[in-house]
Amino acid sequence: MKLKNDILGDLSYLESFDSLKGAEFYKRISQLMCEIHSKIPEQKFNTKKLATPVEEREEYFENKNCKRIVMYLMSNGCEWALKAGNGCTICGHLAKQRRSENPISSKDFIDQFINKYKNIDFKEYPILNLYNNGSILNNNEISTDALFKILEMINENKHIKKIVLECRPEFINEKIIQEVKKRIPNKFVEIAMGLEILDDFYRIVCINKGFKLQQFESASSIVRKYLNLKCYVLLKPPFLTEKEGVEEAVRTIKHAFEIGSSTVSLEACTIQEYTVIEFLNDRGHYSTPWLWSIIEVVKRTAHLGNLVIGMFQFYPAPSNVPYNCEECSQKVLNAMAEYNRTLEISCFENLECKCKEKWKQELDENAIPFAERLTILSDGVNNL
């Protein structure tokens, strides 16, 4: 399939939020993403089974390191990706979801959950992350009937102390949060939302996130009234330089804690298939952030609150993740994992490598004007 130049056209006018010209940029970037998503191969999925095997991870909770269980429900996929905006430029979750107009039954969702849940000894796992690679509070993605029954089962398990659910802000309202609280009143419940980046212009143009800060903050205030807020912050989305990525992540983390996040998760960009970021990476227009950049952000913000590092464990698995060099990357990754177990920045002491100078040089490089960076989307690139 060839990408026609007129899909995106001339983007040089994009210099500020005011220059978005209404919905024009949304239309253009959505068309590109629609082209990319059309390449996802047809697959058959069993709606009575989870999307992927249960994963075991770790998390610092109640002043100690705990084990946690991560479950990905098989769903039709994120509504933002399927309908309104064709999704976020950095997200490849849709490739492993069912993507059907026919809804999955409540019974199938419950079967997915209970078939694994009943075999897990939660004495060893006080934390449960329950995801659907979309917005779990959106009735169009998973029926509230199924979700509420699942939450009621979780509430009955005395060994589960904390549960994390993910949702976009447009599906947050007082009624749904009250209903969640009603069905799981005795657990530490975090509703996780991706603010990603503080600046509205960058969030729209670089990530195609589809909402403004005001909408996120409104949803956040509802969440915090009844439950707890977890905020995802993205490091180095497309079109930002390494330095811009670091500085914007620092700004965003500060704001996330200012509005009352109980946890902030720093998520460095990875490369997943069938995404705009893969499209750019394949053509030499994007590279994942350095591990040094992750550490720099954490050193500057860890004192603000419960800041954790996302360790690139997504479904589907990325094809490319943040990296330094062959000599130090594993050592740095080990230090990051240890930081997550302790939340102590002392884990990063004595981390040195000759590649750090190259990272510093990249931070000092002069950036080309932002609008010029966007023209790579419509420079006559073929063979999408």
Q: Which tens digit of pLDDT belongs to each residue from 119-171?
A: 999 999 999 999 999 999 999 999 999 999 999 999 999 999 999 999 999 99
What is the pLDDT of the chain when averaged over all its residues?
A: 90
383 part of a folded domain: no
In the chain, the percentage of residues whose pLDDT exceeds 70 is 91
CATH number, residue 283:
3.20.20.70
Grade residue 25 by pLDDT with cuts at 50, 70 and 90: low
Strand partners, 268: 235
**Predicted pLDDT of residue 16:** 54
**Is the confidence at residue 11, as pLDDT, over 70?**
no
**Predicted pLDDT of residue 20:** 54
Q: Which tens digit of pLDDT belongs to each residue from 37-77?
A: 999 999 899 999 999 999 999 999 999 999 999 999 999 99
**Predicted pLDDT of residue 315:** 87
* Mean pLDDT, residues 2-31 taken together: 53
**Predicted pLDDT of residue 26:** 65
**Predicted pLDDT of residue 1:** 27
Residue 105 token pair: 């039954």
Grade residue 30 by pLDDT with cuts at 50, 70 and 90: confident
Q: What is the pTM of this model?
A: 0.92
Residues 6+ apart with CB under 8 A from 239: 205, 206, 370, 373, 374
The neighbour count for residue 329, using CB atoms within 10 Å, is 17
384 part of a folded domain: no
Nearest to 72 by CA among 317, 315, 311, 319: 315
Range of the domain at 306: 5-378
Task: Determine if the peptide bond prior to 316 is cis (ω within 30°).
Answer: yes
Grade residue 7 by pLDDT with cuts at 50, 70 and 90: very low
* Mean pLDDT, residues 341-355 taken together: 96
365 part of a folded domain: yes
- Per-residue three-class SS string for 282-321: HCCCCCCCCHHHHHHHHHHHHHHCCEEECCCCCCCCCCEC
The greatest distance separating any two alpha carbons of the chain, rounded to the nearest whole angstrom, comes to 59
122 part of a folded domain: yes
**Is the confidence at residue 103, as pLDDT, over 50?**
yes
> What is the rounded radius of gyration, in angstroms, for the C-alpha atoms of the chain?
21
Amino acid in position 330: Q
- Our count of domains for the chain comes to 1
289 part of a folded domain: yes
Grade residue 227 by pLDDT with cuts at 50, 70 and 90: very high
Residue 123 and residue 159 in contact, taking contact as beta carbons nearer than 8 Å: yes
**Predicted pLDDT of residue 83:** 81
Count CA atoms within 13 Å of residue 363 on its CB side. 15
